[in-house]
Structure 1
Amino acid sequence: METLYRRRWLALAAVLIAEIMDLLDATIVGVAAPSIERDLGGGSTTIQWVAAGYTLAYAVGLVTGARLGDLLGRRRVFLAGLAGFVVTSALCGLATTPGMLIAFRVLQGLCGAVLIPQGFGIVRAAFPPAELGKAFGAFGPAIGLSAVAGPIVAGALVAGDVAGLGWRAVFLVNVPIGLAGLALAWAVLPGSRAENVPGGVRSLDLGGMLLVGLGLAAAVVPLVQGRELGWPAWAVALPVAAVPLLALFGGHQVRRARTGRPPLVEPALFRIRAFTGGTVVGLVFFAGMTGLVLVLGLYLQLELGFGPLQAGLTQAPWAFGVAAGSVLGAGVLAPRLGRGAIQLGAAVMTVGVLGVLATLGFAPVTGWTLAPALVVCGVGMGVLLAPFFDIVLAGVDGPLVGSASGVLNAVQQLGAAVGVATLGTMWFQVAAGAGMTAGFRVVLVAVAVTTVLAGALTVLLPRRAAAPEETPEAAAETAPA
């Protein structure tokens, strides 16, 4: 145990490599999509599905992936998920039709769903309580930087045309990075025993998996496919049906918990104020942020005529802003303001988004004219994310960490899928009638609204990261026999 404890920062590095790979793959499509479309064919719906197929599969699989870590041990499941992610990344890079690429992206998302939720539990096991705040604090900047660095990396790889690979390099680059991360994880991750769950893997909640999968698919699929098909009746009915399906899932989880059978999602989580508020804030924020990353990359290439590298580099000021905001947020603002740092970050990011909207009034729009507003966007985003995961997860008790990490990541990816589907559809719909610039203006207004809403919803969070609350399960474990 002492050797593993000394390696805790290396263990955190292995977990963050996986997080970074996942976020890069979730945001590369905005820059790589035009090249993919020229090479493989397909229309705007294909572009959306290459992005949304990954995030939707990821969101659907996360709660199950988290539970597998509890049942089989987080180290073992992390390594299996990372190996699968490497293989499916290679398959994406070798795809020869739009259908193949979308199918492999779905498989890649499922592997990510097995991999990513183990990270929070691994970190929780490797670090002493006094250092958990610093460890969790690293997730926000890593996630923020990865989200906005994705387009820059994609632009460089597509434009560089390494070995004639073109867009395929954005997926194949995961192979060497993933193998290096796999070797590091194998060497340094602490071992974790599976929970003593009656029935083991046989107790996995298949009914819950079906209900949550159907509910999430019903909510997102029509948003992507409906516009191209002229909004048939089923595209309107399915999102309505998603509500009772997800309500049935919630009731099913409560019943399983009451009867002593392990649920996919522990109902006790939602009695923890920080966690419940964090899921709401995360859903709203990541929907706006991820949708903006997609549409900005498409707008720069399809309307302004930028090449992939130029489109990626145009977003570099955003990444620099996230880096600066993360340092400022983690080192100065979060310790002093707590929840107020998230609110301040949301306000600053909103100013940046409105600055991009104002910049569209200049002629011509260039990377230089967009840079100041994108820097402000990034600073706000970095400040917002710096304390977010610490505040949300600090109050979660050890036995609930696996379920909590799965749900929080699922909400983040569900928000991304909804953002890609909704804002992508909004942009294509308006662009078809009023032009791409008009469509981008509408998207920017929508993102400003979601960012303001995310900042307002932080009132659901505690003012500062709290010590873990004692849940009924924890109390039962410590009660005298």
Structure 2
Amino acid sequence: MTDTPTPYRWRWAALFVILAAEVMDLLDSLVTNIAAPSIRADIGGGESTIQWMGAAYTLAMAIGLITGGRLGDIFGRRRMFLIGAVGFTLGSIGCGLAQGPDQLIAARVFQGLLGAVMLPQGLGMLKEMFSEKEQASAFGMFGPVMGLSTVGGPILAGWLVDADLFGTGWRMIFLINIPLGLFAIAGGLGFLPEWKSARAVRLDLLGALLAAAGSALMIFPLVQGREHDWPLWAFALIAASVAVFGFFGWYEGRRSRSGGDPLVEPSLFAKRGFSGGMVLGLLFFSAMTGFWLTFSLYTQIGLHYSPLKAGLAGIPSSLGMVVAFIASQALQRFGRKVMHGGLVVMALGVAGIMLTLHLAGAGVTPWQLAPALTVTGLGMGFVMAPFFDTVLASVEPHETGSASGTLTSVQQFGAALGTAILGTVFFEQVKSGDFVHAEQVTLGVELAMMAVVFAAIFLLPKHARPQGGEGAEDAQDGSAEAGEPAAAVHA
């Protein structure tokens, strides 16, 4: 608990500080999709550099998130929030000043790691500052802010690159984090309460290192293997990744049985709903992130759109997602059927894009793509909105902390995996010089991934909350309440 009760007025001030941190993270996960071609043209690097601009950030975030919340329990959430905010801001400056691709990628990794230290603390503090009755209003603020960031982020990135403010070009997409970061730091010092876990918590360093090693061993060969014509070491590293994750699972079980604090509760993987949610989340967020990356590359490199025009071209999909987030609140009683329906709608949208490209060819316009993009965004939103609540419905109340952190890490790892896999598919097909064919093949791979996701949804509980009657037995008491923060933020 906090040392002293936080005055009511400061609770809401603290909420806006935490929202600023969330906006920084969301913008930085989106902007490089739009700016990547311009960045590569300026500082050089191969095609894999474009993939690493996004994957380095999301992979570092995935690795750090699973430990970030535990650091707040040990050292204090306000302290770790401030350390994360300072580090994230310095990382943004490093990105903006980078003179080569290696420097930029290293700065992106630093950003991701410090962001993973910063973000979990805010959610934890909100749970402590607000009563259960107030939490619905507090977490309800995340939806509109995240929606506006999703719509406005790519447009802002495109405008900043095209505007070339003060001769900074693409660098301003990172330097714009400086005022946001200073606001988060000043607000954190002024309004955030100190909090530290009353229970002695031990950090699972070996578990964190194993999770990091397994993730890196998977992503690195998927990104770099294509440029080296898929040498034997690429497949050896992927096999090593599987072995490391297997050892990680064994070690976490051993640590739990010996009375330690495991990074991930082993009991979670015995639950069909949670294990299915892991598969679903990994593939869905891979497909979604890969979609945004390759669409941006196709419009800029293939269709020669400016960064701003490419950002504007994606608006229909972003608006579709926002509409779906709002509409999904009225469809909660249908449970996982909403996710199944959303996936069908998303597949129809992706198929519509493929048909539009086939009919319009290289001369396709944003207006011609808009209907199919809107449908795709609607589908994405209907899958994303209930995802966290539905998956968390299958876990026990005492497991929700570990489950939420693990799911969020899987979301970020899926984003890195999608950048690696679908970016590689796109660049492999682009070798022929036919960008329309390259994008269609990539979208075809996404449809195959979505078919697996559709099957995985059947493993989830029928409802996120007890409905009475059918599906009520599938949801555990208290799990929905624990899942609300994650769902609110990451939708």
Q: What letter matches 1:351 in structure 2?
A: L
Match of 1:433 in 2: 432
The yes-or-no answer on 1:158 pairing with 2:156 is no
Deviates more, 1:391-400 or 1:311-320: 391-400
Q: CA deviation at 1:79?
A: 2.5
The yes-or-no answer on 1:362 pairing with 2:359 is yes
Q: What letter matches 1:327 in structure 2?
A: I
Does the 8 A contact of 1:67 with 1:403 survive in 2?
A: no
Match of 1:474 in 2: none
Match of 1:313 in 2: 312
The yes-or-no answer on 1:122 pairing with 2:125 is yes
Q: CA deviation at 1:386?
A: 2.1
| 1:291-330 alignment runs, 5 A limit | 291-330=290-329
Change (3 A) 1:238 1:98: same
Q: CA deviation at 1:113?
A: 1.7
Rounded to whole Å, the distance in 2 between the matches of 1:250 and 1:20 is 33
Deviates more, 1:175-184 or 1:361-370: 175-184
Q: What letter matches 1:340 in structure 2?
A: K
Q: What letter matches 2:350 in structure 1?
A: V
| 1:68-467 alignment runs, 5 A limit | 68-129=71-132, 146-147=149-150, 149-197=152-200, 203-271=202-270, 274-330=273-329, 332-334=330-332, 336-363=333-360, 364-393=363-392, 400-433=399-432, 435-466=434-465
Does the 8 A contact of 2:296 with 2:310 survive in 1?
A: yes
* TM-score scaled by length of structure 1: 0.89
Rounded to whole Å, the distance in 1 between the matches of 2:13 and 2:415 is 29
Percent of aligned positions with the same letter in both sequences? 49
Rounded to whole Å, the distance in 2 between the matches of 1:453 and 1:140 is 28
Does the 8 A contact of 1:285 with 1:454 survive in 2?
A: yes
Larger RCO (CA under 8 A, 6+ residues apart):
1
Rounded to whole Å, the distance in 2 between the matches of 1:395 and 1:16 is 29
SS of alignment partner, residue 306 of structure 1:
coil
Rounded to whole Å, the distance in 2 between the matches of 1:84 and 1:308 is 28
Does the 8 A contact of 1:141 with 1:322 survive in 2?
A: no
Deviates more, 1:112-121 or 1:182-191: 182-191
Q: CA deviation at 1:451?
A: 3.0
* TM-score scaled by length of structure 2: 0.87
Q: CA deviation at 1:176?
A: 0.9
Rounded to whole Å, the distance in 1 between the matches of 2:243 and 2:314 is 40
Tell me the number of residue pairs that the alignment of Structure 1 and Structure 2 aligns: 465
Change (3 A) 1:190 1:88: same
| Alignment RMSD (CA, Å) | 2.6
Q: What letter matches 2:239 in structure 1?
A: V
Q: CA deviation at 1:16?
A: 3.7
Rounded to whole Å, the distance in 1 between the matches of 2:359 and 2:166 is 39
Change (3 A) 1:127 1:458: farther
Change (3 A) 1:273 1:175: farther
Does the 8 A contact of 2:397 with 2:477 survive in 1?
A: no
Q: CA deviation at 1:141?
A: 6.8
Cα deviation, 1:332-381, whole Å, max 9, x if unaligned, reads: 122x3222222222221221111111110233201111111111111222
Q: CA deviation at 1:455?
A: 3.4
Rounded to whole Å, the distance in 1 between the matches of 2:19 and 2:277 is 20
Match of 1:479 in 2: none
SS of alignment partner, residue 186 of structure 2:
helix
5+ residue gaps, structure 2: 466-474, 480-491
Cα deviation, 1:86-128, whole Å, max 9, x if unaligned, reads: 1111110011111111111111111122122334433433444
Cα deviation, 1:57-105, whole Å, max 9, x if unaligned, reads: 2222221222212222333322221221111111100111111111111
SS of alignment partner, residue 380 of structure 1:
helix
Q: What letter matches 1:32 in structure 2?
A: A
Deviates more, 1:390-399 or 1:360-369: 390-399
Q: CA deviation at 1:35?
A: 1.0
Rounded to whole Å, the distance in 2 between the matches of 1:337 and 1:130 is 25
Deviates more, 1:109-118 or 1:11-20: 11-20
Change (3 A) 1:346 1:9: farther
SS of alignment partner, residue 404 of structure 1:
helix
Q: What letter matches 2:346 in structure 1?
A: M
The yes-or-no answer on 1:45 pairing with 2:48 is yes
Does the 8 A contact of 1:343 with 1:458 survive in 2?
A: yes
Q: What letter matches 2:208 in structure 1?
A: M
